[in-house]
């Protein structure tokens, strides 16, 4: 994670032997790696199953977020106040203030995510409704499946502000699978068995789990997210060459 609230590539971090939210970078994976370099999943001891809330359908009357993107359409997001109370409070508060209106998605990376919510439009700014950063924490019920909505941060979940990202990976796609990550560092990278199964089904970015506050999930409008992901970007900073503008972000009661 770079200082301007950018989400770093796990592969790049491995190549550079860097530290990523406590990753030790020393485990050689021999205990679960076969001679051909693949992972022997029969030797992996996944954690017990948990309730996964990402894909719970919104109920009539509950609050949802609606992002209207100029020339693209609407992205509708289920919010999880029971799992990410501070994260939802911050997002809904900023939306009600009109903070996000006319801001852009300033960073777009295919097969990874789209990121926005910075008034500086370069990844260096933004603040919470409390005037600075806040601690959002993580939940055992929310994960970085495709369509997940989470806060970008500069050094852990205590540095959340206004910037957020939406995971955009093809169905079933992971640059680094849960099994590969487990082989790299089983002390850090281990998930409940049903979470692993869900990642294999829908795709996502599991290496971000534990380091970022997930607070929402797109339930309608992933076609809009995928269309945004196809825009031409500056290769130096992943910024769209043509601005992708959030005309409004509003909080509404879901009508069903």
Give the rounded percent of residues in the chain with a pLDDT score beyond 70.
87
Burial class (CB in 10 A: 0-12, 13-18, 19+), 95: buried
Please report, for the domain that includes residue 150, its CATH number. Answer: 2.40.100.10
Specify whether the backbone of 22 is left (phi greater than 0), alpha (psi in -120 to 50) or beta.
left
Asked whether residue 115 is assigned to any structural domain, the reply reads: yes
**What's residue 43's pLDDT?**
84
Q: Domain count for the chain, please give it.
A: 1
Establish if 26 belongs to a structural domain. Answer: yes
User: What is the residue-averaged pLDDT of the chain?
Assistant: 88
212 inside domain: yes
Predicted pLDDT of residue 42: 80
pLDDT tier, 57 (very low <50, low <70, confident <90, very high otherwise): very high
Say if 122 falls within a structural domain: yes
**What phi, psi does 74 have (nearest 5°)?**
-110, 145
* Residue partners of 168: CB distance under 8 A and separation at least 6: 110, 111, 112, 113, 114, 146, 147, 222, 225, 226, 228, 229
Tell me if 111 is assigned to some domain: yes
Looking at residue 164, its pLDDT comes to 98
Taking only the tens place, the pLDDT of each residue in 16-49 is 222 222 233 334 445 577 677 777 778 899 999 9
Instruction: State the residue range of the domain holding 67.
Output: 10-33+53-253
pLDDT tens digit sequence for 8-25: 434 433 332 222 222 333
Q: Is residue 65 part of a domain?
A: yes
What pLDDT does 33 receive? Answer: 72
- Within a domain: 101: yes
Mean pLDDT of 101-111: 97
Encode burial over 201-236: b for 16+ CB neighbours within 10 A, e otherwise: ebbbbbbbbbbbbbbbbbbbbbebbeebbebebeee
Does the residue 42 lie in any domain?
Answer: no
Kind and range of the H or E run holding 217: strand 214-220
């Amino acid at each position: 994670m770079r200082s301007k609230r950018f989400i770093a590539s796990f592969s790049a971090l491995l190549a550079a032997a860097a530290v990523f939210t406590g990753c030790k970078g020393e485990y050689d994976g021999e205990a679960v790696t076969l001679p051909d370099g693949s992972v022997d999943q029969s030797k992996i001891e996944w954690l017990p199953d948990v309730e996964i809330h990402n894909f719970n359908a919104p109920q009539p009357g509950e609050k949802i977020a609606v992002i209207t993107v100029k020339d693209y359409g609407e992205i509708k997001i289920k919010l999880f106040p029971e799992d990410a109370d501070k994260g939802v409070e911050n997002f809904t508060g900023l939306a009600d203030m009109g903070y996000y209106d006319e801001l852009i998605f300033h960073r777009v990376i295919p097969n990874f995510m789209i990121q926005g919510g910075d008034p500086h439009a370069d990844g260096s700014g933004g603040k919470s409704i409390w005037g600075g950063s806040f601690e959002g924490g993580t939940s055992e019920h929310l994960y970085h499946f495709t369509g997940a909505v989470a806060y970008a941060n500069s050094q852990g979940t205590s540095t959340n502000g206004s910037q957020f990202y939406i995971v955009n990976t093809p169905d079933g796609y992971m640059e680094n699978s849960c099994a590969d990550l487990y082989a790299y560092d089983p002390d850090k990278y281990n998930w409940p068995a049903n979470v692993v199964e869900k990642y294999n089904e829908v795709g996502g970015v599991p290496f971000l789990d534990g380091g970022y506050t997930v607070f929402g999930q797109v339930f309608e409008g992933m076609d809009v997210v995928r269309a945004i992901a196809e825009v031409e970007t500056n290769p130096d900073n992943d910024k769209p060459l043509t601005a992708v503008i959030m005309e409004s972000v509003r909080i509404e009661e879901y009508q069903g």
